[in-house]
Structure 1
Amino acid sequence: MLSKIKHNEYFIKLFQWLGGVVNHLLPKKKRIVLYSNWGFRDNVRYLYDYLIDHSYNEKYQIVCASNDFYDLDRTVPRNVVFTRSKIDTLRYFLTSNYFFYCFGGIPIKSVKNQTIVNLWHGMPIKKIGRLESGMSRDINYFDYLVSYSDFFSPVLKESFDVDQDKIIIANAPRNEVFISQSGSTSNKDKVIAWLPTYRKSSKLDSQNGESDEIIPLFNDLDDFRKFDQFLKSVGIRMFVKLHPLQDRINIPKNLTNMIFIDDSWLFEQHTDLYTFLAETDALITDYSSVSIDYLLLNRPIFYVMNDQQAYANTRGFNYTLDQFIAGQVVQNMDQFRYVLSSFSKDQDGFAKLRREKINTFYSGSSAGIKEMLGLVGI
């Protein structure tokens, strides 16, 4: 019942109007709020690390607002506040100079002496926002939206229904670790990360692609066991991280070379997703924007797309495959085993294509975090 009320069009409009009035009346403090309603991760987490590492908390109070901090809030730096309270989050939003988010957001427009930045969580290979089927509500309640380059800006502009002057050409905070660690790894064994996007999500009441599969190419638990033995035979360790919105699945125990991880696992290892990815030798994904980011490492990428047409018919794409693919496309298990076997022998025929895509997607001019903060006045 509560969820239906929150997503009711009339309730949202009333909330926006009342929130706008209060936001206009309340004075703003020298404070930076970092918000995520799907766990304190991704771009807000990397921006937080940057702010603390560069002592921004000496000049600004920094508020971290989320539903899950993965124990990050056990040690609280000076002038930093962690809150899980939605009421406190709204209070901080209404009284702060700066508000950053990459998941969720608060549907209230900014006022004088306040800047709202939508970091988002990746460049839109698949349809998002106003381009999604059935999406009609206003999601433009920010001052700036981050785009990696002019290649992505037109789609972002249409997806969020924003003016061109609201788009900042900048790299994502989470990409900083890729930029600083590009090149080969020092792994003795081949290490691959597999990050499939979600097929079925009860949280979003959404179904994309062939959702009857556990994950692409795997139909039952025995498939996992057989594939685990194959990985062992070719000397590959594969770390599989399901999308946070993907419905949970049954995973067989005692797998040795196919390891399932999540955000909690990463924090237990004292690392984070992109730092972990920077230490891998290759990436497997599909229609996820992580492939755009991983290009910065210039390492092999494989695309498992056995449900391409079904995904196009449900979620839909903003680009053709040729526009964003920079590696081998896999559509069945035999192909999957073949390309991984070739990879284990250091065969890579896509280095030139990856460099071409990097030049297209980043234009050689995407600003870093420091420059982005300067653009928004911090």
Structure 2
Amino acid sequence: MEDNNVVILNGSGRSGSNGYLFYKYLQTNHPEYNVTLVEPWPSSHFKWETWQKIGAARYVITTHQPFKVRKNQINLQFWHGVPLKRMGIMANNTRRKDNKRNEKLWHKNADIVASSSDLYETLMSSCLAIETEKYRKVGFPRLDYLQNPVISKEQLLKDLFNTEDKQAEIGIYMPTFRYELEDQSIMEKIKEGNFFAFEDFDGDELNDALKARHQYLIVKLHPYEMRLFANFDSKYSNIAFLNNDYLFDHNYDLYELLGDTDFLMTDFSSIYFDYLQLNKPIVFVTNFLKQYEKTRGLLMGPYEEITPGISVNSQRELVQSLDQLDNQQIKNRRLYWLDLTNQLKGDNYCEKAFKCMTNGE
């Protein structure tokens, strides 16, 4: 085992992957380390050479379950977001046997758990029973990439909408994984192209409303939902579907593009905690709020208190909100939640994580 061998087990694809962006960072800034990116993780199709590299690594980085092969390896756990939805022992839809196994895994395999705040540590430990001494407040690598997009807003507009517009406002819609609601009617709506699964959805009407305001909406669905989606090639001028192919083909992670957007739309995705770094408007789509609270549950509430933005329950409410996505009261609430979820000011999260991993700082 060489001290400069690093293996990154990336289970997050290109949708805000701390692992992938830390890999990019190490390649550029620490060429003295041999870094191997293993994805998708987990998988049953790895070659023997890949397992050899995992076994020979001094440092094993994970974005999901902590993992290592040897006791003397160091596992650095980045996880994949500040949790809002309940998971593990806090969730309504998990089994005690699985939770006990997970608890043992974290105890045995996680050496360093990257953290951003006391609140993050409280939420994670309530779900996964992580011991407090494992946490290090170093922040998350993907946050370094939010403020400096890899391409310009003009280029993103050209790539995804094939247009130029000096007045353009770009929004991105990123819902959570709705399949776990186990509601076939939601999946049917998505199959038909109703990506919001609104009762009053009308794609052409929504497109016209966006067009009239020089607004453009990027839709980034969960890969499972994208596979269901019939209208994959958008027939709309102001709505585009972002799939993983675009990100993989260009070696981008989604977070390297987020800084080009002007507002975020989501439901219960923890992306909104990260998006607070940009101090831009967030719209919360609440048409399945009651179902989520019942099926899985949220870690904090009431929902309207923990979501610093406008809430919409239908397309009619969404269109009515498009002219006025922000105000001073909402801005103040965003800053309040930013302070709660990220106690580390500034950036260089990748370097902080690197030093912590290699020097125990």
- Gap runs ≥5 in structure 2: 155-165
Q: Deviations over 1:282-326 (max 9, x none)?
A: 100110010000000000000001110101111211111245311
Task: Look up the match of 1:96.
Answer: 57
Q: Establish whether residue 51 from structure 1 lines up as the match of residue 26 from structure 2.
A: yes
Shift in CA distance, 270/167, structure 1 to aligned 2, threshold 3 Å? closer
Shift in CA distance, 293/128, structure 1 to aligned 2, threshold 3 Å? same
Out of 82, 85, 89, the position equivalent to 1:123 is 82
Cα shift at 1:37: 4.0
Task: Look up the match of 1:313.
Answer: 294
User: What is the identity, as a one-letter code, of the residue corresponding to 1:85?
Assistant: F
Shift in CA distance, 318/245, structure 1 to aligned 2, threshold 3 Å? farther
Cα shift at 1:358: 1.0
Output aligned runs, 1:114-193, within 5 Å: 114-132=73-91, 133-135=93-95, 136-137=97-98, 138-139=101-102, 140=106, 141-179=109-147, 188-193=167-172
Task: Look up the match of 2:324.
Answer: 342
Q: Aligned equivalents of 2:110 and 2:344: distance in 1?
A: 26
User: What is the identity, as a one-letter code, of the residue corresponding to 1:352?
Assistant: N
Cα shift at 1:234: 2.1
Contact preservation (8 Å) 1:29, 1:95: no
Cα shift at 1:269: 5.3
Cα shift at 1:38: 5.2
Q: Establish whether residue 211 from structure 1 lines up as the match of residue 186 from structure 2.
A: yes
Q: Aligned equivalents of 1:347 and 1:99: distance in 2?
A: 44
SS at structure 2 position matched to 1:152: helix
Cα shift at 1:92: 2.1
SS at structure 2 position matched to 1:292: helix
Deviates more, 1:143-152 or 1:281-290: 143-152
Task: Look up the match of 2:334.
Answer: 354
Task: Look up the match of 1:258.
Answer: 239
Cα shift at 1:49: 1.2
SS at structure 1 position matched to 2:245: helix
Q: Aligned equivalents of 1:338 and 1:170: distance in 2?
A: 40
Output aligned runs, 1:2-151, within 5 Å: 27=1, 30-37=4-11, 39=13, 42-54=17-29, 56-57=30-31, 59-67=32-40, 85=46, 87-103=48-64, 106=67, 108=68, 110-112=70-72, 114-132=73-91, 133-135=93-95, 136-137=97-98, 138-139=101-102, 140=106, 141-151=109-119
User: What's the C-alpha RMSD, in Å, of the aligned pairs?
Assistant: 2.9
Q: Establish whether residue 194 from structure 1 lines up as the match of residue 173 from structure 2.
A: yes
Structure with bigger RCO (C-alpha 8 Å, 6+ apart): 2
Cα shift at 1:245: 4.1
Q: Aligned equivalents of 1:249 and 1:314: distance in 2?
A: 24
Task: Name the count of aligned residue pairs.
Answer: 324
Contact preservation (8 Å) 1:210, 1:311: no
Cα shift at 1:30: 2.8
Q: Aligned equivalents of 2:209 and 2:224: distance in 1?
A: 29
Shift in CA distance, 166/104, structure 1 to aligned 2, threshold 3 Å? closer
Contact preservation (8 Å) 1:110, 1:143: no
Contact preservation (8 Å) 1:28, 1:94: no
Normalised TM-score (structure 2): 0.80
Q: Aligned equivalents of 2:316 and 2:355: distance in 1?
A: 50
Task: Look up the match of 1:3.
Answer: none
Q: Aligned equivalents of 1:306 and 1:40: distance in 2?
A: 27
Contact preservation (8 Å) 1:199, 1:210: no
Contact preservation (8 Å) 1:209, 1:307: no
Task: Look up the match of 1:297.
Answer: 278
Q: Deviations over 1:253-305 (max 9, x none)?
A: 42111111112123445643112111111100110010000000000000001
Q: Aligned equivalents of 2:14 and 2:167: distance in 1?
A: 32
Contact preservation (8 Å) 1:36, 1:104: no
Q: Aligned equivalents of 1:36 and 1:158: distance in 2?
A: 24
Task: Look up the match of 1:9.
Answer: none
Q: Deviations over 1:313-369 (max 9, x none)?
A: 1121111124531111111221111111324xx766511111111111112458712
User: What is the identity, as a one-letter code, of the residue corresponding to 2:342?
Assistant: Y
Shift in CA distance, 103/245, structure 1 to aligned 2, threshold 3 Å? farther
- Gap runs ≥5 in structure 1: 1-26, 69-83
Q: Deviations over 1:134-185 (max 9, x none)?
A: 243323132122222001211211322221011122221111122557xxx8
User: What is the identity, as a one-letter code, of the residue corresponding to 1:39?
Assistant: G
Cα shift at 1:208: 7.3
Shift in CA distance, 228/148, structure 1 to aligned 2, threshold 3 Å? same
Seq. identity, %: 22
Contact preservation (8 Å) 2:81, 2:271: yes
User: What is the identity, as a one-letter code, of the residue corresponding to 1:351?
Assistant: K
Deviates more, 1:168-177 or 1:269-278: 269-278
Q: Aligned equivalents of 1:289 and 1:91: distance in 2?
A: 34
Normalised TM-score (structure 1): 0.77
